[in-house]
Amino acid sequence: MGLNAKPATPTHLWIVGVLSLLWNLFGCYDYLMSELSPASYFANMGMNAESAAYMAELPAWLIAFWAFGVWGSLVGSLLLLARSRHAVLAFTVSLIGLAVSQLTQAFVLHPPQSAPVGLTLVIWSALAFFLIYARSMSAKGVLR
């Protein structure tokens, strides 16, 4: 193996990378639909009028952190599949976006209808896993 050669890509990287990409595409879809077609999307999601109005009134800075969360994860997934060490940074940015947006809503804005606790835990767990996995692959030299 030459000095600049990358280690062989483990099969689990492709599995985790594809699952990460599919998972994060849903977050991007949710974000886009919430921003581009909120009335019909919220109605299809079973959201009541009060919750839809709350979402429509979110401050721009909070929407920006939400965007960092979803788009950072998508970029992280793509960088993971490209075997780039920058996946770690993208997932970190995403985690910061998730933390600011969810914690602000939970402790400052108090939405009329919140996501089920189980779903929230799954989102946090998935993102933490992707970040830890990317850091591990970077430390092992798989990501460069």
| pLDDT score at 2 | 57
| pLDDT score at 53 | 86
Enter the pTM of the model. 0.90
Residues whose CB is less than 8 angstroms from the CB of residue 20 and which lie 6 or more positions away in sequence, other chains included: 73, 76, 77, 80, 130
Tokens of residue 135, six digits? 């850091």
- Going residue by residue through the chain, which has 144 residues, state the pLDDT in tens, using 9 for 90 and above: 556 666 789 999 999 999 999 999 999 999 999 999 888 888 888 888 888 888 889 999 999 999 999 999 999 999 999 999 999 999 999 999 999 999 999 899 988 877 788 999 999 999 999 999 999 999 999 999
| pLDDT score at 88 | 98
Beta-carbon count within 10 A of 92 CB: 16
Please list the alpha-helical segments (H only) found in the chain: 11-36, 38-44, 49-56, 60-81, 86-104, 117-139
